[in-house]
Amino acid sequence: MLSSIRLKSLSNGSAVLRRLQSTLVIAEHNNDALAPITRNTLTAASKIGGDVSVLVVGENCSKAAAEAAKLPGVSKSPDTFVRTIYAGNAVLTLKAKDKIKVVSVRGTSFPPAEGSGEAKTDAAPTGDFNAPGTTFVSQELTKSDRPELTAAKVVISGGRGMKSGDNFKLLYTLADKMGAAVGASRAAVDAGFVPNDLQVGQTGKIVAPELYVAVGISGAIQHLAGMKDSKTIVAINKDPEAPIFQVADYGLVADLFKAVPELTEKI
């Protein structure tokens, strides 16, 4: 969040300092369109206060910039924030006294901004902005027919109980039938079952889908911090004492290698 000072001219020729508060949202996009999480961040920015500006950075991203210009604007200036600590197990209310504030938000804690608006867009300067000693080589984007993890309404995640990366095929098949994204616990990622861009948790991605299905996940506090805001949580684990059952709305104590294929067949 940026705070600025503006000079306001008076009729007698003098001037007074007037402090204005403004918020800058860095848009996430793929050049063609904004990521849905940008709207959630915009809602968070509206609660922070001040005029909101959206920065769209990239090459050939005019479509994303045009979309950003239609997002609804906001104008409200608090300094008090609420944040989670201890992996989401406690909530802290604090007042920031710094004149300039850089704020990151848990996008899934806010609903997406609705409606549309009209805003002025200014093209950024073009040119060669490579840092000394560095050269842009290439950009590789992960492509999938499944929804993006942080924007999906349904997420199916696997943990150490999956035993191997090959067994994640069970979850991919189920996810394709449900139109779901696939995630994983840190234990599954550290074991090399799946790439780290699927990790859900305190050190991974934060998700809050309508439905979260945890398969073979014990429910470590670090994982819960990344998914406990989900609207409905379903847990499948053969250990009835697994901590995941303490936060689950529905729990199935069963061998996932039997339960998941049966669930897939019924769907």
Residue type, 70: K
Q: Tell me: is residue 117 an annotated ligand-binding position.
A: no
Do 3 and 100 form a contact (C-beta atoms < 8 A)? yes
CA dist 179 and 211 (Å) reads: 11
Q: Tell me: is residue 142 an annotated ligand-binding position.
A: no
Q: Tell me: is residue 202 an annotated ligand-binding position.
A: yes
CA dist 166 and 193 (Å) reads: 8
Cα–chain center distance at 148 = 10
Q: Tell me: is residue 107 an annotated ligand-binding position.
A: no
Q: Tell me: is residue 201 an annotated ligand-binding position.
A: yes
Q: Tell me: is residue 219 an annotated ligand-binding position.
A: yes
CA dist 255 and 238 (Å) reads: 5
CA distances, 76 to each of 22, 23, 44, 189, 226 (Å): 9, 10, 11, 41, 29
Q: Tell me: is residue 37 an annotated ligand-binding position.
A: no
Structure tokens at 143: 């492509």
Q: Tell me: is residue 246 an annotated ligand-binding position.
A: no
Which residues, in sequence order, are CB contacts of 184 under 8 Å at separation 6+? 157, 158, 159, 168, 193, 194, 198, 199, 200
Q: Tell me: is residue 218 an annotated ligand-binding position.
A: yes
Q: Tell me: is residue 216 an annotated ligand-binding position.
A: yes
Q: Tell me: is residue 221 an annotated ligand-binding position.
A: yes
Structure tokens at 18: 């007037």
Which residues are 4's β-sheet partners?
20
CA dist 55 and 122 (Å) reads: 10
Q: Tell me: is residue 223 an annotated ligand-binding position.
A: yes
Q: Tell me: is residue 155 an annotated ligand-binding position.
A: no
Residues of the binding site for FAD: 160, 185-186, 199-203, 216-223, 237
Residues of the binding site: 160, 185-186, 199-203, 216-223, 237
